[in-house]
């Protein structure tokens, strides 16, 4: 039977400690500058993330008549920010991203409120490789490992959950390994086996003719991206901690937009800047703040580490199971 290792007050204190510790390690590992982030964006710029292409953002009109969208993620905005702030190669930015995803199906690990550390780094053309991707993943993983170690010293009731190294596997290798399983079932099996996994190549078509999972066609290069997955014992699941990748160049974006049937997006300002090689080449991603808190504090529901809205049935079930929602 589940029992939280921290009460409500200790949980709130631990969340603050965790975030402070992790941010300091992330900055040092990736050489990042903190910047301010928008809560809403002009719809016509194309800077808002349309995620898998079917999720609709919250929209409203400002007093000046501009059509604005509440952020779904900052995947595209960050790359524009690198250009605006004239960030040099091997350096980058990060920010606190707070988003609303109204179409999200809520459950113990999903909420309509999303909070992430969103980061982006400038890279050179020769860095658009799997080796570079894996190197950055290892840096992020080291920051998480260091955070776990420091947090567990402060809260001795918590245990070490992560191996010393993260395992790398491609989505095609994973399909070959478990051809009869669904993508989510494959993620569970490989993550339960290794505890920490980076799954490379999400969004492109596999040998089976299917994709592992949907990814927007206009920011990640589907062959140079992936997800950080941790085995989360309280729920016995593979918990996605981060989606990240090397971003599209002009050729890759054009190809992926055509493949996804999104050619109309080439007329948006952001997309024109990529097609005309105005924006810098980059690598970036988002790291879930509530997800990392949930994992490191060994929580069974995301509502234990963030404030959101839940239906009455969920509230009753959580109370029954000794899950105390913030």
Q: How far apart are CA 117 and CA 282, in angstroms?
A: 16
Evaluate if pTM is beyond 0.85. Answer: yes
26 CB-near residues (< 8 Å, 6+ apart) = 32, 94, 117, 119, 140, 143, 287
Asked if 241 and 260 count as a contact pair (C-beta separation under 8 A), the reply is: no
Residue showing tokens 């776990």: 148
Across 275-282, average pLDDT: 96
| CATH domain 8-320 topology | BirA Bifunctional Protein; domain 2 (3.30.930)
Report, as residue numbers or ranges, the catalytic residues: 49, 101, 116, 227, 240, 243
Domain boundaries, the chain: 8-320
Q: Cβ–Cβ contacts within 10 Å for residue 75, how many? A: 27
pLDDT in tens, 47-71: 877 665 566 787 888 788 888 888 8
pLDDT in tens, 201-252: 999 999 999 999 988 888 899 999 999 999 999 999 999 999 999 999 999 9
Name the nearest CA neighbour of 289 among 20, 5, 64, 62.
20
């Amino acid at each position: 039977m589940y029992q939280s290792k921290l009460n409500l007050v200790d949980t709130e204190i631990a969340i603050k400690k965790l975030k402070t510790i992790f941010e300091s390690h992330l900055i040092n590992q990736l050489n990042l500058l903190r910047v301010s982030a928008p809560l809403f964006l002009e719809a016509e710029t194309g800077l808002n993330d349309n995620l898998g292409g079917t999720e609709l953002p919250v929209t409203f009109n400002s007093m000046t008549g501009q059509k604005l969208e509440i952020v779904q993620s900052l995947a595209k905005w960050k790359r524009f920010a690198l250009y605006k702030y004239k960030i040099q190669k091997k350096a980058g930015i990060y920010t606190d991203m707070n988003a609303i995803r109204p179409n999200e199906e809520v459950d113990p690990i999903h909420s309509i409120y999303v909070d992430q550390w969103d980061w982006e780094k400038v890279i050179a053309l020769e860095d658009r490789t799997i080796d570079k991707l894996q190197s950055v993943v290892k840096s992020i993983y080291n920051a998480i490992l260091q955070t776990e170690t420091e947090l567990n010293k402060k809260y001795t009731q918590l245990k070490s959950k992560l191996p010393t190294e993260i395992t790398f596997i491609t989505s095609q290798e994973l399909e070959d390994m478990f051809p009869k399983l669904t993508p989510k079932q494959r993620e569970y099996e490989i993550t339960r086996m290794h505890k920490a996994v980076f799954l490379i190549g999400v969004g492109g078509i596999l040998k089976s003719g299917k994709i592992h999972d949907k990814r927007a066609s206009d920011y990640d290069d589907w062959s140079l991206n992936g997800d950080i997955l941790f085995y989360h014992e309280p729920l016995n699941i593979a918990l996605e901690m981060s989606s990240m990748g090397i971003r599209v160049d002009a050729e890759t974006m054009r190809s992926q937009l055509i493949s996804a049937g999104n050619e109309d997006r080439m007329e948006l300002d952001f997309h024109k800047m990529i097609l005309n090689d105005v924006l810098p080449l980059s690598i970036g991603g988002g790291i879930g703040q509530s997800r990392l808190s949930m994992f490191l504090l060994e929580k069974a529901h995301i509502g234990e580490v963030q404030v959101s809205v839940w239906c009455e049935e969920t509230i009753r079930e959580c109370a029954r199971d000794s899950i105390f929602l913030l």
